[in-house]
Structure 1
Amino acid sequence: MELRHLRAFTAVAEELHFGRAARRLHLAQPALSQQVKQLEQDVGAVLLERTTRQVRLTSAGTVFLEHAHRVLREAELARESVLVTERGERGELRVGVTGVITWRLLPRMARAYRRRYPHVRLELRPSVFSAAQVSALIDGRIDVGFLRAPVPAGPLASRVILNESLMAVLPQDHPLAGEPEVHLADLADENFVSYVSMQGSALRDAAVHACFSAGFTPRVVQEAPDTHTVVALVGAAVGVALMPASAETLQIEGVVFTPIAGGVDVRVPIALAWRESDSSPVLAGFLATAEEVLPSPGPGSGEH
């Protein structure tokens, strides 16, 4: 039983005239008659009574017409669903997010994307560290990720969407807490609080590199698994820290965020990363939306 035979039968059943049905389907009348006969053979029943004066449905034809309409509607829905999916307008996208700043960027991006692709389901996969995001991308557990750059070369492609500044995080009673800026070299003798060294934190690496650039190695006396805990430990006067400016939104009592002076490059890039081999139209739509909503920063730009 073929869809073209069902279309031929429904056209004749609705027109009750082979000539009009043939014109409607842009078929020659003999070809239309042959398709209806073939359908009747497949079904095993006469569906249409034909005389020289009229065409009418048999009892079997009346019953079959209802099913034929249903099958053709489902076939059209299936075709439309495939086309919508191929255009990236339907499906699912697993998005990895990490860090306070990505949670600030994501709502803007998600609103724009959902306006354009309301039938795509965005599944958010939180992760504390960028290294976990990279592994999830490579393993195929997520499709795209917001993470701290740099992104390792290989199977992944990436684009920087923001350069965020690191700031000195000081206990509020620290001697430098009231200063408009802090030179990194002035923190050389301080105790530091930082992320756990074995968890692959791009922020920890950036902070250590900044200290190296200022001529010292930070003395880390306490490690913590996440940004909130790092800042809270600073508030408890365990030490100082270098954290992204977005961490200030946590509003933890007892800490002061102070810009870093002295010309040391203390920016941390935020990137959007994905598998370079992924040809999904859903991903392509997400990346195209991100190009407009989250364009790459210009040279020297950053968020403070």
Structure 2
Amino acid sequence: MKIDDIDAFVSVVRCQSISQAAESLQLTQPAITRRTQNFEKDLGVVLLDRNTKPLKPTTIGMRVYEQCKVVMREVDALRELVGAAGPASGALRLGVPQTIGDAVLVHALQEIRGAFPELRTQVINGWGSNLVAKMENGELDAAAALFPAGKIFPEGIAGQSIGRMPLLVVAAKDSLRKRNCKLADCYRQGWVLNPDGCGFRAGLQRALSEQGLSMHINLETFGTELQLGLVANGMGLGLVPQPILEKSQHRERLEVINVSDFKPVIDLWLLHPRFLGNLQEPVELFGRLVAQRLGQR
């Protein structure tokens, strides 16, 4: 039983495709096929249902896949023992939600490039939950994401809170008669929010549901600056972390609404696999730069 065969099998299940697994591991498709077949032969079981699209593991294949992820984490730990002393090089794959990406990425990437010229940085945008899933699948080396305090992350992922910030309700300046109210007083104004899947939106939905109130979505769109511009133009209420509001070009046209029964607080988390090898220093630098840029340190 070879580590390369296990790695190929894990990649096939993760990608749900022989061709995408080959691209991920920079191998040919015949090589991936041969390695997965060798692994099945060594175990004496069929691990992949080759009659499905996308490709899926069999019942026993899924159980083997979960165990193989543990094996690969231990292999990564062994590699870290011999690789941590070397200079940072290769690819540094970073994940950020778009909510904070616009505010932190340009500065962070510039600083990382200056400190570690041998590194090639790659960036993926996505919701926090999606970034965690990609990290579990070995597709990311670090991520900065927004989650509630006390969040528990999957085994194999280290999470460190590097800041805490209030999530503010904002409206166009002078558009509401009262700047102090309850959700029941203002929810009919409607909201300008991210599409479904956003944690901010989910938290607001829960708060409204607990009071028997409905969610009125006026506009849904990606991009915090775009959302704040629409709010500033009177298109509805918005939700934004305080540091992002302070850096927005629209801040002078917005005002914070004090909603007494809705005061969410969100943590800024630095996430990474437990074993980073020679990427430890650049990942720590990334965390410091994100926190500093958002005024958390």
Give the TM-score of the pair, scaled to structure 1.
Answer: 0.54
Q: Is the 8 A contact 1:131 1:201 kept in 2?
A: no
* Cα distance in 2 between the residues matched to 1:104 and 1:232: 15
Identify if the C-alpha distance between structure 1 residues 291 and 201 changes in structure 2 by more than 3 Å, giving closer, same or farther.
Answer: closer
* Rounded Cα–Cα distance in structure 2 between residues aligned with 1:204 and 1:254: 24
- Structure having the higher Rg: 1
Amino acid at match of 1:162: G
- Aligned mates of 2:102, 2:235 — CA distance in 1: 27
Distance in 2, matches of 1:293 and 1:254, equals: 26
Preserved CA contact (<8 Å) 2:83 2:277: no
Q: Contact 2:205–2:215 at 8 Å: present in 1 too? A: no
Cα offset for 1:147? 1.5
Q: CA deviation at 1:258?
A: 0.9
Q: Conserved in 1, the CA contact under 8 Å of 2:171 and 2:257? A: no
**Could you list the per-position Cα deviations for residues 139-172 of structure 1 after superposition, in whole angstroms to 9, with x for gaps in the alignment?**
2222111112146521422112222222222134
Look up the SS of the partner of 2:234 in the other structure: coil
Find the counterpart in structure 2 of residue 288 from structure 1.
284
* Counterpart residue number, 1:219: 215
Whether the aligned pair in 2 keeps the contact of 1:234 and 1:255 (CA below 8 Å) is no
Letter in 1 for 2:241: P
8 Å contact kept, 2:191–2:217: yes
CA distance in 2, matches of 1:162, 1:210: 23
Q: Secondary structure at the residue paired with 1:196?
A: coil
Query: What pairs with 1:1-304 in structure 2 (closer than 5 Å)?
Result: 86-107=85-106, 109-125=108-124, 127-150=125-148, 153-155=153-155, 156-176=157-177, 179=179, 184=183, 186-197=185-196, 200-209=197-206, 215=211, 217=213, 219-226=215-222, 227-245=224-242, 246-247=244-245, 249-252=247-250, 255-258=253-256, 260=258, 262=260, 264-276=262-274, 278-282=275-279, 284-290=280-286
Amino acid in structure 2 at the alignment position of 1:222? N
With over 3 angstroms needed to count, the CA separation of the structure-2 counterparts of 1:185 and 1:166, relative to structure 1, is: farther
Alignment CA distance shift 1:238-1:295 (3 Å)? closer
Whole-Å separation in 1 of the counterparts to 2:291 and 2:246: 24
User: What CA distance in whole angstroms lies between the structure 2 residues aligned with 1:266 and 1:175?
Assistant: 21
Tell whether the 8 Å contact from 1:188 to 1:216 is kept in structure 2 after alignment: no
Unmatched 5+ stretches in structure 1: 1-82, 297-301
Partners in 1 of 2:219 and 2:152 — Cα distance? 25
Q: Which residue of 2 aligns with 1:58?
A: none
User: Where in structure 2 are there 5+ consecutive unaligned residues?
Assistant: 1-81
Is contact 1:194-1:220 (8 Å) kept? no
The one-character-per-residue Cα deviations of 1:243-275 (angstroms, maximum 9, x if unpaired) are 223146443499513153648542222211122
Give, in whole Å, the separation in 1 of the partners of 2:212 and 2:164: 24
Q: Secondary structure in 1 aligned to 2:204?
A: helix
- Counterpart-to-counterpart distance in 2, 1:168 and 1:271: 22
Q: 1:111 to 1:229 in 2, by over 3 A?
A: closer
Q: Aligned in 2, Cα 1:259/1:110: closer, same or farther, shift over 3 Å?
A: farther
Alpha carbon RMSD of aligned pairs, Å? 3.7
